[in-house]
Every structure is written in C-alpha cells, then in structure tokens.
Structure 1
Amino acid sequence: MTLMAGDATTKAAASSRLDSLTGLRFWAALAVVLYHLSRQGGELPGISDLTWYGRSGVTFFFILSGFVLAWTYDGKTVPASVFLWRRFARIWPLLAVSTVTSVAVWRVLGTDFSLRGVAATLGLVNSWIPERPYLVGGNPAAWSLSDEAWFYLIFPLLLTLPLMRNPRGRAVIAVAVCAGSVGVWLSGALFTDSLVRLWALDYFPPTRTLQFVLGVTAGLAVKRGWRPPCGLGAAVALVVAWHLVLIPWSDAVPDSVWYSPYSASQLLSAPFFALLVAAAATADVERRRTPFAGPGMVKLGQWSFAWYLFHEIVLRALLGAFGTPVGGLETFGIWATTLILSLALAAVAYHYLEHPLERLLRSRRPGGSARRPRPERSLIAGPGEFPPRS
C-alpha cells in the first residue's frame, strides 16, 4: 500500500501528539454509555434528555477513525497485509473477549441468542445483514467494528483518489459526503419496513462510510496545513447545541417515523464532529493546552474502547440480577453502579488484555513468523481504534 508523500507541513504536523483526541474519546464513549443507561436502565431528568441520542458518539468515532488513519499513514509506504494485520490486532482480541463475556451473561440469564449472530460478530460481518439476531450479534455494541473492518479495507483506496491530493479536491469531497449524509437521511422516507430502514441508515457499512471518508478528508487537510474556521470551544458548543436541538425535536416527533431525530442525530451530526476533531487536533499541533489533553483524560481515553464494548454487558447483568429500577433512587443506583463497574472493568481489560494482546499480535508478521516489535511513536497517546490508533 503506497500512501501519498508528505510535504514540509505534513512532516511538522506528524511530530505532534494528538492527546486531545484521546481525551475526547472518553466523552464520546460516555455519551454512548449514557444513551444505553437512559434507554435500558431508566431515565434521569436532564441527563437523559441531553443524551437520549448519545448513540451519535458512534458517528464521532467513525470520523475520528478516518482522521487518525489519514494522519498516521499519509506519506508512508506500508504493505497492505501489514496494515490490515495491525488493524486486526487492534480490534479483534478485545472483540473476542467481550463477545465471550456477553454470551456467558446471556447464558446465565437464560436469554436466547443466535449462534450465527455470534459467528457473524466474530467474523466482523454482522452489520451487513438486516436481521436483528445478526445486528445484536454476540455483543450488541460490536456492530460498529463490522463497519470499521470495512473502512480498513477501503482506506488504502481512498488515499489514491486524485481529489484527495489537493485542497480543492478535499473540499469537494467534504461537501459531497455532507450532502450525501443529508440524502441518506431523506431516503428514510422510501422504507416501509422500520427494521430495514434502521439497518440501512444506521448500521449498513456503505452508509457509515460517508462519515469515515469525512474523517479521512479532515485528517489529510489538517495535516497539510488547513485550519478549521472555528476554535475548539466553538466546536464543542456546536456539538452541544446540536444535541440540545434534538430535545424539542424528540418531543414533537416519535422515533418510529423516518424524519425523527433518531437517524438524524447520527447522520446529520457528522460536520459538527468533524469540526470538533479538526479543532482539537489543531490545538495539539499548535501546542495549545486543552481540557481534553491532561494525563487523567488521556488515561480515560485509553480505556474507552474497552468501556464501549463492556458497558452494555454490565448493565444487562445488573438488570438481570436486580430487575428494572423503579423510581429515581433505584434508577440512580443502577446508573452509578453500571458506570463504576464498567469503567473499572474497562481499565482492567485495557491493561491486562487489550494492550498486551495487541502487542503480542503486532510482534508477529502476517505470515505467522514472529519478530521483535520495533518501538513506535504513537501520535495519539495509547491505543483505541474504536476509537482508533495507528
């Protein structure tokens, strides 16, 4: 896989650590966690209103994935087999562990599950099939990794597109994918089957590719000298404002109709998240301090991939053991217990499973022969491919 050669601006930017992106990963994962708590564990006033569509954090992760991969591999020549092996080593070991854990919890609770769905999840193909047993798979949160696997396959091809090689071409791509996202959302009116519509707009990898491509475009642009039109504070404000707009929209339109904010929250939020990622990366390149780049935030960001994969399993186990909460106090208890236990489990999983297993697999060539791993300088502190890492 031959990637585009970098210029002086590219080389200067490549030396920067993007710690703010690592910290932002925690907040995106938190939005997804609070989304599941609100929908499954009971509502808490205020917090549930703001995070009722926190699943849009997945959109952030897809954009971030494209951004970081473009930032990391632009100007480098990497064999496709090595690139794909690195991606496999990054996401699959913890996917396998979390899937086994999820199935074990289902077995203990006496809940039926699909073995074909489990196999599709482990094979990273479950989001291609518009059937619920496949979409929830062995671990309901793992559908996004099926989309990520698709992104990895097409990433080398994206960097060969002529339009990616100049600012005007990248601008054309950015406008096209944003317009395409609006078009995809409007296409919801064409689906009469709600499950098929949900799959086509929210799970189907080609649909989500628009967000990944926007991330790749933004990553190349920032690395090559482009700067977003707003600062980090303004970008954060735009993301928050977008989710505030969804509150009255949700009160007026039920999620069951195509023009509800459910799919809109994920498809139409892409430009806001792209600005946020670009602004945070720009702040790091320019050595400006941000609230997302501190050691504590970086550590939480490192745990976010494991947190994303395990939090729903912990919530499901607690609801199975104690039942659906009744009243605000019980709901708060479920929320607090889920947050504490799942984050602690994520920390353990990162330090003793995710990171060691990735290092072990990366130390071996794609053909199976072992070799001593060479130290790499990580542009984003610590792993996280959903969220990503080089």
Structure 2
Amino acid sequence: MSEVKSSMPRGEIKALTGLRGVAALYVVLFHANGLHAFPQMVRPFVHHGYMAVDLFFLLSGFVMALTYADLFRDGFDFGNFKKFLLLRLARIYPLYILVTLITAVMITTVLADTYHFDDNVLRALPFNLTMTHVWGLAYAIVPPSWSISTEWAAYLLFPLTIMVAVWLPRRYAVAGVGLAFAVLAAVAFGPYWMTRHHHMHGTLDVVHSYAPGTTLRCLASFYIGLVAFRFRERIPPFAAILALIAALVLLCFKSTDLGLVAVFAVLIMALSHDKGPVARVLQNPVIYWLGIVSYALYLVHDLIQKIILKSFPAWGLSGGLTRGEWVWVSVAVSLGVAALAHYAFEKPSRRWARALFLRDAKPASPSPVPAE
C-alpha cells in the first residue's frame, strides 16, 4: 500500500475552521434569499450560496482523511469502523436530534399555519431521527439536514473510500476523482429522475429527498476531499489567493458548479498549511468564531428565518421594519441562538456522548476543524 507523508500543522487548522464559518454564513444568506429579494447587484452571488454546502462536503472529506485515515491503513477493521462511527455520532447527533425534535413540535403546533412541510411529520420523524431520510425515505424536517443525511451515507462508506483515496496506489485515487467528477456531471446535467426538479438555482442545486442525485452530490465531493488530503503538499499556501479569486468570480456566474468544486478543493489544500494572507484573514477571531459555531448555525438558522420572515408578517408583527431589515435581524438572531446552542448544549452533549459511546476510547488524532 502507498505511504502518505505529512507535514501538516499540529493541532487545529484554524484557517479551515474560519473557512467553514464563512461557508455557513453564506448558506444563511442563501436561504434568506428565498424569503427576501436581495439587490440585483449581489443577487447572482447570493443565488450561488448552495455551493457552500459542496464546500462543506469537500472540507468534511479532507478532515475525515486527516483525522481518521490511519484507522484503516491496514484495511477494514470492524473495531476501528465502530469507533469511527461512534465518534461521528458523538460529534453530530446530540444537537441534530434536539433541533429536529424542536422543529417537529413547532411545525405541528405554533407554526402549523405558516411552515409548509411536504410530508406527514409523524411518518417522516423516524427516518429523520436515524439520518436516513434523504435516502429516498422522507422529507427533511429541518431542511438543511438533507446534507447531514447524505454525509451519514459517506461515513458508512468511509472504510472503502479512504482506502481508494489514500492507501491504494495513486492511480486508483486519481481514477476515483475522474469518476467523482463524472458523477457530479451526471447530477448537474443528467435526466430528471436524477434530481426530481429542474435545478432551482444552478446545476448542482439538488436537494430532493427522493432523488439519487442528492446523495451522489455529497459522496462525489466528499471523495474529492479525501483525495485532496492525499495530494495537499502539491499545492503551496500562496495558491489560496488565486483559488479564492477564481471562486469569487465563478460564484457570480451560472453553470460554473463543476469548476467551483475543483477550485474549492485547491483552496482547501492551500489553506491546510495554515499559512499565507488568506489563511491569516480566516484566522481572524471573529471569522474563526463563526467556524466554531458553524454546525449550530447551520442547523438552527432555517427555523429562525421561517419564524421571523414568514410567521411574524402573518401574525402582524412587522414592528415597522422593512423586509430587508428583518433579514439582518434574522441573521443576528441566528448567530445568537447558534452561540447559545453551541456552548450550552453542543459542547457538553458531545463530551457526554463520547463518554457514553466510547468510554475511554480516543480518536486517532484531534479533529482539525469542527465537522458538520
């Protein structure tokens, strides 16, 4: 098997944490766009916010490889696979289940008249609680959780994908990248049954629970993130500037999604050195803090936006503010609730879950960024 040498920074890669925070805020603005029309000048950029989730998938693959690749260096081991899954559950599940249950209660009671849900909540709840809902089983009770369901599928396949991406000879990893981009192309330009809708905002904007393209979108980008970890040393820190400029330009135009996946992968590889001007900006305390609370922000913001931007007007609670001003109120409230959820529940529940699931077990290495 191939050896993978590393000169990665020890401990947390703060630039990647900050990048995750920026991506989470981008998703918040993208979802607000569905409830409020942004100025025409910035609308194309905001419309492309769904690609922040593909950035999450790439980041997650990169981080999973960095943190857990050694567990499968010698092939599949059931004990290590169990450890890996339990560590992932301890990280993502407590806050996920709390937000899912709160949302389920609210959309069947106080928000029943203003929160549209395309399924029966009681029928959908078991599939949402097991994170299998987007596998063609039910609609997402917490809309952003579609990506968590698809990543759960990526975790179940992790022993196979990490072997191909990192430990087998390089030709297999590279061939896998070609296949991954072919899958993304099929999702972006394939038949209607692949997506179950006609791409709302762009070619990779596929989130339908009953469309195979939704999960394939995640699996392909997640795998590319794994391979990006293997070849990270080939991309120097200064390449982050070029990748960032390319990403910002491509995000202003439609039909650039496949190119963006490639550019995002290069950006992550360059930032993984935690050096250079772009990395320093992302290490700024405010941006870094966004990364710390990014998972909570991702989970809570949709419900808050629906309450403030849909329910409040229906209840006559406009408060004299314009629609645009309410958007920024919803962003501020989302950040506040995310901070409360992270510090009061997510962090302590993660420690509790690790103790419950694994007792004295420890991961192969500390996680470099908060995983979604």
Alpha carbons 2:237, 2:271 under 8 Å: kept: no
**RMSD of Structure 2 on Structure 1 (CA):** 3.2
Match of 2:187 in 1: 184
Larger mean Cα displacement after TM superposition, 228-237 or 95-104 = 228-237
Distance 1:313 1:282 in 2: 36
| Amino acid in the other structure paired with 2:216 | P
CA 1:244/1:42 → structure 2, altered by over 3 Å: closer, same or farther?
closer
Alpha carbons 2:90, 2:350 under 8 Å: kept: yes
Q: CA deviation at 1:82?
A: 0.9
Alignment counterpart, residue 350 of structure 2, candidates 354, 358, 378: 358
Kindly indicate whether residue 118 of structure 2 is the aligned counterpart of residue 115 of structure 1: no
The correspondence of residues 123-138 of structure 1 with structure 2, limited to 5 A, is 123-129=130-136, 134-135=138-139, 137-138=140-141
Distance 1:68 1:94 in 2: 20
Alpha carbons 1:28, 1:57 under 8 Å: kept: yes
Alpha carbons 1:184, 1:207 under 8 Å: kept: yes
Distance 1:13 1:194 in 2: 41
| Amino acid in the other structure paired with 1:279 | A
Q: CA deviation at 1:155?
A: 0.7
Match of 2:76 in 1: none
- 1:280-327 Cα deviation digits (max 9, x unpaired): 11344x89952102333222101011001100100111120224999x
Alpha carbons 1:41, 1:315 under 8 Å: kept: no
Distance 1:108 1:211 in 2: 38
Alpha carbons 1:14, 1:72 under 8 Å: kept: no
Q: CA deviation at 1:55?
A: 1.2
Match of 1:33 in 2: 28
Alignment counterpart, residue 261 of structure 2, candidates 251, 264, 270: 270
The correspondence of residues 299-310 of structure 1 with structure 2, limited to 5 A, is 299-310=289-300
Q: CA deviation at 1:49?
A: 3.0
Alpha carbons 1:235, 1:276 under 8 Å: kept: yes
Stretches of structure 1 that go unaligned for 5 or more consecutive residues are 247-260
Please report the TM-score for the alignment, with normalisation by the length of structure 2.
Answer: 0.83
Kindly indicate whether residue 252 of structure 2 is the aligned counterpart of residue 213 of structure 1: no
Match of 2:371 in 1: 385
Match of 1:103 in 2: 104
Secondary structure, in 3 states, of the residue corresponding to 1:363? helix
Kindly indicate whether residue 260 of structure 2 is the aligned counterpart of residue 242 of structure 1: no
Distance 2:111 2:177 in 1: 46
Match of 1:249 in 2: none
Q: CA deviation at 1:114?
A: 2.1
Distance 2:305 2:82 in 1: 38
| Amino acid in the other structure paired with 1:83 | F
- 1:190-238 Cα deviation digits (max 9, x unpaired): 769538986376863234211110001101222xx33269711111111
Q: CA deviation at 1:26?
A: 1.1
Distance 2:50 2:352 in 1: 32
Alignment counterpart, residue 345 of structure 1, candidates 325, 334, 337: 337
Distance 2:250 2:212 in 1: 18
Match of 2:326 in 1: 334
The correspondence of residues 311-326 of structure 1 with structure 2, limited to 5 A, is 311-318=301-308, 319-323=310-314
Q: CA deviation at 1:18?
A: 1.1
Match of 2:146 in 1: 143
CA 1:178/1:121 → structure 2, altered by over 3 Å: closer, same or farther?
same
Alpha carbons 2:296, 2:338 under 8 Å: kept: yes
Alpha carbons 2:225, 2:265 under 8 Å: kept: yes
| Amino acid in the other structure paired with 2:57 | F
Distance 1:5 1:44 in 2: 51
Match of 1:258 in 2: none
CA 1:373/1:173 → structure 2, altered by over 3 Å: closer, same or farther?
closer
Q: CA deviation at 1:180?
A: 3.0
- 1:140-193 Cα deviation digits (max 9, x unpaired): 111111101101111111122387534444333223322332233221367695
Alpha carbons 2:62, 2:226 under 8 Å: kept: yes
Kindly indicate whether residue 282 of structure 2 is the aligned counterpart of residue 296 of structure 1: no
| Amino acid in the other structure paired with 1:310 | V
CA 1:34/1:149 → structure 2, altered by over 3 Å: closer, same or farther?
same
CA 1:374/1:155 → structure 2, altered by over 3 Å: closer, same or farther?
closer
Alignment counterpart, residue 161 of structure 2, candidates 158, 161, 176: 158
Distance 1:379 1:192 in 2: 33
Distance 1:325 1:52 in 2: 28
Distance 2:145 2:188 in 1: 23
Please report the TM-score for the alignment, with normalisation by the length of structure 1.
Answer: 0.79
Distance 1:64 1:303 in 2: 16
Match of 1:251 in 2: none
Alpha carbons 1:18, 1:379 under 8 Å: kept: no
Q: How many residues align?
A: 350
Distance 1:219 1:270 in 2: 15
Match of 1:81 in 2: 82
Q: CA deviation at 1:363?
A: 1.4
Instruction: Give percent identity, aligned residues only.
Output: 25
Kindly indicate whether residue 222 of structure 2 is the aligned counterpart of residue 232 of structure 1: no
